């Protein structure tokens, strides 16, 4: 069994497998081929890989391995028919990736499709590991741009009141953002469309913003459900009202397979105070703030700073690579049976939970998207977006 780890495309600083995972993979029977300088941007040198038993190889040799592990979809050129590709394919936004693999006879394992509520999947959940870091970094970016101190300070020159931070959304990223802002000394308010999130928000030091008529808008897989336009407007009005005098606003709302919902319209930005900082964690999928420019930091006419940094986990490349590597190593080694990778049709992580399970969601399967030149039968939702 061999695994290829290619260098990621320009703009992606992470690497899929780090040296700390090599020994576990080798122990499970894998030969690891790493493209030269694949880990350089995340501070893992070729020598670090060689010292723990990996081989530094050319890109063609890496892509020619039986299993290719990466972060971004690498394309199908150079990958052998029958090979496995494990990455974050984001298939509902990029159905062409799935089609390319079907046409080329490549098995595609999309790690963002992990059924996150299965207890066995927790250690493989790349969404959670990367979102955690993104939420942390979002607050640090807000603190770096806001023109005032965060904690309360009592000095001989006077008392500085603590900054007010509003976190919109309290999934994995939001909860980490709340906890980080609280550790910095801010007064933190947070919202979520899931009423059950109130207790979680308060447990990490936030104050829950409740919206009249709020229900528990959470689906069986743990993601937020799409909301009606009327309720979205109500949430926007309520939360943006709380944020009107905030120093830092972090938006986290992301809906699986859909564009990011607008939670901060332009009209709200006009009501925010000068010097306020909005950190949009979803700039890469359209943005939660109507005025966000992906990849840029802008200042509006009324002095509001909007941070549209894309790929927040990539700004912490050393740590995010290590966590992603741990996720993928646990996943890949779980598939080994008698010296080979075996994709079992009864594995809920691969194919999704059975229809009578509490975790079954609209016929959507797990991480196994296509195999042997065909879409997996459990990927019924995905079948509707393929060309």
* Other residues' Cβ atoms within 10 Å of the Cβ of residue 267: 11
Catalytic member of 14, 49, 72, 125 = 125
CB-based contacts of 106: which residues, under 8 Å, 6+ apart?
76, 79, 81, 82, 83, 84, 85, 100, 370
Cα separations (Å) of 270 from 2, 56, 299, 314?
A: 55, 53, 12, 31
SS3 288: coil
181 CB-contact burial (10 Å; exposed 0-12 / middle 13-18 / buried 19+):
buried
User: Which pLDDT score is estimated for 106?
Assistant: 97
Cα separations (Å) of 226 from 34, 102, 201, 223, 335?
A: 41, 30, 21, 9, 34
User: Which pLDDT score is estimated for 44?
Assistant: 98
Strand pairing report for 31-35 and 248-251: unpaired
Q: How many C-alpha atoms does 224 have within 13 Å on its Cβ side?
A: 26
Round to whole Å and give the CA distance between 131 and 361. 22
Contact status, residue 253 vs residue 278, Cβ threshold 8 Å: no
User: Which pLDDT score is estimated for 368?
Assistant: 95
Catalytic member of 28, 36, 99, 122 = 122
* Other residues' Cβ atoms within 10 Å of the Cβ of residue 57: 21
Catalytic member of 49, 136, 189, 223 = 223
Q: Is 196 a catalytic residue?
A: no
Of 246, 285, 241, 243, the closest CA to residue 262 belongs to 285
Catalytic member of 116, 130, 131, 321 = 116
Round to whole Å and give the CA distance between 96 and 110. 13
Of 3, 92, 116, the closest CA to residue 53 belongs to 3
Catalytic member of 128, 200, 221, 379 = 128
Q: Which CATH architecture is the domain 2-124+318-375 placed in?
A: 3-Layer(aba) Sandwich (3.40)
Q: Is 116 a catalytic residue?
A: yes
DSSP class per residue in 82-110: T-EEEE---TTT-HHHHHHHHHHT-EEEE
Going residue by residue through the chain (387 aa), what tens digit of pLDDT does each one get?
Answer: 999 999 999 999 999 999 999 999 999 999 999 999 999 999 999 999 999 999 999 999 999 999 999 999 999 999 999 999 999 999 999 999 999 999 999 999 999 999 887 888 899 999 999 999 999 999 999 999 999 999 999 988 988 899 999 999 999 999 999 999 999 999 999 998 777 789 999 999 999 998 877 666 665 555 555 667 777 788 888 999 999 999 999 999 988 878 898 999 999 999 999 999 999 999 999 999 999 999 999 999 999 999 999 999 999 999 999 999 999 999 999 999 988 999 998 899 999 877 656 655 556 789 999 999 999 998 888 888 886
Range list for CATH 3.40.50.720 in the chain: 2-124+318-375, 131-310
131-310: which CATH topology?
Rossmann fold (3.40.50)
User: Which pLDDT score is estimated for 134?
Assistant: 98
Helices (H) and strands (E) in the chain, counts: 12, 19
User: Which pLDDT score is estimated for 18?
Assistant: 98
In angstroms, the first-to-last Cα distance of the chain is 34
- Angle at which helix 19-27 crosses helix 317-334, to 10 degrees, equals 10
User: Which pLDDT score is estimated for 170?
Assistant: 92
SS3 257: coil
Q: Is 233 a catalytic residue?
A: no
Contact status, residue 124 vs residue 111, Cβ threshold 8 Å: yes
**Which H helix or E strand runs over 58?**
none
User: Which pLDDT score is estimated for 224?
Assistant: 57
């Amino acid at each position: 069994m061999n695994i290829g780890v290619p260098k990621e495309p320009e703009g992606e600083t992470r690497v899929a497998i780090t040296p700390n995972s090599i020994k576990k993979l080798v122990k499970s029977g894998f030969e690891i081929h790493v493209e030269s300088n694949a880990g350089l941007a995340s501070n893992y040198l070729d020598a670090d890989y060689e010292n723990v038993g990996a081989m530094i190889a050319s890109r063609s040799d890496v892509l020619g391995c039986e299993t290719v592990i990466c972060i971004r979809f690498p394309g199908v050129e150079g990958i052998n028919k029958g090979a496995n590709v494990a990455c974050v394919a984001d298939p509902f936004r990029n159905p062409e990736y799935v089609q390319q693999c079907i046409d080329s006879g490549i098995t595609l394992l999309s790690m963002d499709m992990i059924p996150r509520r299965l207890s066995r999947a927790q250690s493989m959940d790349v969404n959670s590991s990367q979102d955690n870091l993104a939420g942390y970094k979002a607050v640090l970016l807000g603190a770096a741009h806001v023109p005032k101190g965060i904690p309360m300070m009592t000095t001989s020159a006077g008392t500085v009141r603590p900054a007010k931070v509003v976190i919109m959304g309290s999934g994995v990223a939001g909860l980490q953002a709340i906890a980080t802002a609280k550790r910095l000394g801010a007064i933190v308010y947070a919202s979520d469309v899931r009423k059950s999130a109130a207790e979680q928000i308060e447990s990490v030091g936030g104050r829950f913003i409740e919206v009249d008529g709020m229900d528990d808008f959470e689906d069986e897989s743990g993601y937020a459900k799409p909301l009606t336009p009327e309720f979205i407007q109500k949430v926007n009005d309520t939360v943006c009202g709380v944020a009107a005098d905030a120093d830092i606003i972090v938006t986290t709302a992301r809906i699986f397979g859909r564009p990011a919902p607008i939670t901060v319209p332009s009209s709200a930005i006009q009501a925010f105070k000068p010097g306020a900082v909005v950190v949009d964690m979803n700039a890469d999928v359209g943005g939660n703030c109507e005025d966000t420019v992906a990849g840029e930091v802008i200042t509006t006419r009324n002095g509001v700073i909007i941070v549209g940094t894309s790929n927040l986990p990539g700004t912490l490349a050393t740590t995010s690579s290590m966590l992603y590597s741990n996720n993928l190593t646990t996943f890949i080694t779980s598939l080994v049976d008698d010296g080979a990778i075996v994709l079992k049709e009864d594995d809920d992580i691969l194919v999704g939970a059975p229809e009578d399970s509490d975790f079954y969601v609209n016929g959507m399967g797990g991480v196994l998207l296509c195999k042997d030149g065909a879409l997996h039968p459990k990927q019924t939702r995905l079948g509707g977006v393929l060309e």
